[in-house]
Structure 1
Amino acid sequence: MYTPRMSTPDRLIEATRELLWERGYVGTSPKAIQQHAGAGQGSMYHHFAGKSDLALTAIRRTADEMRETAGRVLDAPGSAYERISGYLLRERDVLRGCPLGRLTMDPEVVASDALRAPVDETITWLRERLAAIVREGLDRGEFAPCIVPDDIAASIVATVQGGYVLARASGSTDAFDAGVRGLLTLLGPPIEPVLHI
């Protein structure tokens, strides 16, 4: 998001973030970045070594923002189920997809250890944070004892990322919403058996 007082480097970073989300790394040219940011070629190369350097800065900023947003929900008060539910149900631009998840489909990002690192680190952080919350829930008896925290964390991330793909393919958020509802139903607290006398 641009502001009138934003510096040229920040405008370039924000433009790159937007274009990476829209077009991916391969589809984002230095010229498009400069036009989007309202900056000249000299400005871009004065502040950044090139497209890769600027993209890495933009990806890191997106990763930091995503961690902060997820962290606010996951660190909120409430039961483990409520926090996971809050994460799954939080407001998202579902049809636009995930700005980091999208980069996993980009061959140049996947081939570059440097560009891929912030994506992998963020997904790993999210899985570990979710697994810790599931462990808390298990300790409190919120979940069925057979639940494996790391598996559930991977399922949550896969549901969100896969939900984006399904939503984008159909042009509707219905599939994303259905996936979230299904996962929350499966994660629901264990039901105490009814004893008939």
Structure 2
Amino acid sequence: MSAPDRLIEATQELLWERGYVGTSPKAIQQRAGAGQGSMYHHFSGKPGLALAAITRTAEEMRRTAGRLLDGPGSAYERIAAYLLRERDVLRGCPVGRLTMDPDVVADDALRAPVDATLDWLRGRIAAIVQEGVDTGEFTAGTDPGPVAAAVVATAQGGYALARASGSAAAFDSAVEGLLSLLAARTNQI
């Protein structure tokens, strides 16, 4: 792995674990096994490196979600696959956790990939719900936008519940509840 890739990967992990303020250049360099010269040769500083890391994290989330949401199955099955996928619930969402970081949220450049990714996710899920409405899988009158927002909010809120309780069961319960509500809107399940 190249020095820039090691630096970005180390920053991704540290942002997920510690947030922006807790992610020092020295910690990044130590985790990446790279020197200060290498870091500043490839990046303008911590903000530039953080932006590269946040952008990569967002792209990875889109790829992971996209594989499930664009996979086989009915609209309900694809949404369920996204919600039920294996994940490290107690660590939280690497993108969603950034929304709670005041330094990321206060910086337009750092916040932009986070917002764009969550917006993409809501849009992709809304499109799937609309497909389900169009094919008659979901009952007429099902509004894709609010359903998509509820799916994303359930996942993100499920992470918060799980972290607060120290148990993945809280996440699983939230997902189970949402899927029950969503199943009630189907004509086939």
| TM-score range normalised by the length of the shorter chain | over 0.9
- Counterpart Cα distance in 2 of 1:109 and 1:179: 27
- Asked if the contact 2:11/2:53 (under 8 Å) is kept, the reply is yes
- Counterpart Cα distance in 1 of 2:152 and 2:21: 25
Give the CA deviation at 1:152.
Answer: 0.3
Task: Give CA deviations for 1:26-60 in whole Å, capped at 9, x if unaligned.
Answer: 11000100011111111100110000000000011
- Asked if the contact 2:155/2:171 (under 8 Å) is kept, the reply is yes
User: Which runs of 5 or more residues in structure 2 are unaligned?
Assistant: none
Task: Give CA deviations for 1:103-149 in whole Å, capped at 9, x if unaligned.
Answer: 11111100100000000000000000000000011112222223210
* 1:148–1:190 Cα change, 3 Å: closer
1:99 equivalent to 2:94? Answer yes
Secondary structure, aligned partner of 2:137: coil
Letter in 1 for 2:41: H
User: Which runs of 5 or more residues in structure 1 are unaligned?
Assistant: 1-5, 193-197
TM-score normalised per structure 1: 0.92
- Asked if the contact 1:142/1:189 (under 8 Å) is kept, the reply is no
Cα RMSD, aligned residues only = 1.1
- Counterpart Cα distance in 1 of 2:69 and 2:162: 24
Counterpart selection for 2:9 from 8, 14, 23: 14
Give the CA deviation at 1:190.
Answer: 4.6
Give the CA deviation at 1:154.
Answer: 0.2
Give 1:19-168 correspondences, 5 Å limit.
Answer: 19-168=14-163
- Asked if the contact 1:94/1:173 (under 8 Å) is kept, the reply is yes
- Counterpart Cα distance in 1 of 2:135 and 2:5: 45
- Counterpart Cα distance in 2 of 1:161 and 1:53: 26
The percentage of aligned residue pairs carrying the same residue is: 74
Structure 1 runs of 4+ with >6 Å offset: none
Letter in 1 for 2:84: L
- Asked if the contact 2:9/2:53 (under 8 Å) is kept, the reply is yes
TM-score normalised per structure 2: 0.96
1:184 equivalent to 2:184? Answer no
Count, aligned residues: 187
Give the CA deviation at 1:191.
Answer: 7.0
Greater per-residue helix proportion = 2
Secondary structure, aligned partner of 1:77: coil
